[in-house]
């Protein structure tokens, strides 16, 4: 399985350093550090992702031109241990990597998460905290209530024995039991006064635009909602244009909210 992942993985075109850290509940996370910027960006992929998945890795490279990027495999994915809980226990993963970035001397740490990674960074900032800004991309506000065919297909994959077996072939190990934790919309207000940026595509085939509005309306200030007509879902939108826009948003928050 690991060799199969490596065959599908992006080979970084810039110098990288290893990342390894253990969470508070004993999960071993692995990844890579890129860049040398003063600000650290903790980059959290979505479901069925890993830090060297081509679009995720290329975004890490582009952000690494301005920041130090901590890209890693969330629990139950890639070469990290543990089992995926769809954004529930993943807040401990975010906390461990944020703490690592602080220990490395970064005074400013921003979390960026897509889809499941977006759930993790919202819930981490709301329930644990300790970051300077949060960016959630293509993130659902709720655990249930989505009527898209893409979500129905993913539900079939993750709730059946054959589907779970298929997930293991692409490096995803799922929790056998799942207790529904607080949803992103239930906790997002607790992030304030940490700056929050919500990014969503109007053409998202998993979660419609209404999910972004649910998060935005419940979030406190400072907050921004960025909607794109053509973005897709999660890593679909990880283009050079998006990386540049994201970098400008992070730097803008540094000049405004962070200096307040």
Q: Residue 71: enclosing H or E segment and its boundaries?
A: strand 68-72
* Number of domains the chain is built from: 1
Boundaries of domain holding 89: 2-259
pLDDT of 144 higher than 90: no
What are the tens digits of pLDDT across the range 58-117? 999 999 999 999 999 999 999 999 999 999 999 999 999 999 999 999 999 999 999 999
Average pLDDT over residues 246-258: 79
pLDDT of 8 higher than 80: no
Record the pTM.
0.94
- CATH number for the domain harbouring residue 37: 3.40.50.1820
pLDDT band for position 240 (50/70/90)?
A: very high
Q: Residue 20: enclosing H or E segment and its boundaries?
A: strand 16-22
Query: Residue 17: is it exposed, middle or buried by C-beta count within 10 angstroms (0-12/13-18/19+)?
Result: exposed
Query: Residue 194: is it exposed, middle or buried by C-beta count within 10 angstroms (0-12/13-18/19+)?
Result: buried
Alpha helices in the chain (DSSP H): 2-8, 54-63, 90-103, 116-127, 149-159, 161-169, 184-187, 209-218, 240-255
Average pLDDT over residues 208-222: 97
Report the C-alpha gap between 249 and 112 in whole angstroms: 12
């Amino acid at each position: 399985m690991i060799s199969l992942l490596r065959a599908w993985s992006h080979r970084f075109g810039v110098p990288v350093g290893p990342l390894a850290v253990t969470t508070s509940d004993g999960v071993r996370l692995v990844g890579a550090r890129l860049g040398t910027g003063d600000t650290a960006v903790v980059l959290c992929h979505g479901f069925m992702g890993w830090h060297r998945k081509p679009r995720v890795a290329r975004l890490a490279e582009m952000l690494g031109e301005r920041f130090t990027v901590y890209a890693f495999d969330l629990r139950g994915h890639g070469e990290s241990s543990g089992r995926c809980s769809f954004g529930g226990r993943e807040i401990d993963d975010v906390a461990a990597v944020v703490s690592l970035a602080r220990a490395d001397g970064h005074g400013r740490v921003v979390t960026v998460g897509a889809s499941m990674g977006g759930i993790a960074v919202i819930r981490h900032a709301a329930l644990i905290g300790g970051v300077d800004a949060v960016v959630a991309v293509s993130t659902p506000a709720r655990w249930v209530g989505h009527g898209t065919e893409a979500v129905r297909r993913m539900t079939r994959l993750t709730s059946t024995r054959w589907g779970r077996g298929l997930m293991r072939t692409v490096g995803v190990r799922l929790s056998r039991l799942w207790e529904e934790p607080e949803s992103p919309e239930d906790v997002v207000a607790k992030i304030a006064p940490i700056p929050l940026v919500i990014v969503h595509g109007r053409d998202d085939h998993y979660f419609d635009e209404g999910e972004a509005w649910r998060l935005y309306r419940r979030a406190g200030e400072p907050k921004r909602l960025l909607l794109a007509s053509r973005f897709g879902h999660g890593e679909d939108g990880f283009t050079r244009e998006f990386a540049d826009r994201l970098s400008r948003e992070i730097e803008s928050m540094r000049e405004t909210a962070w200096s307040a």
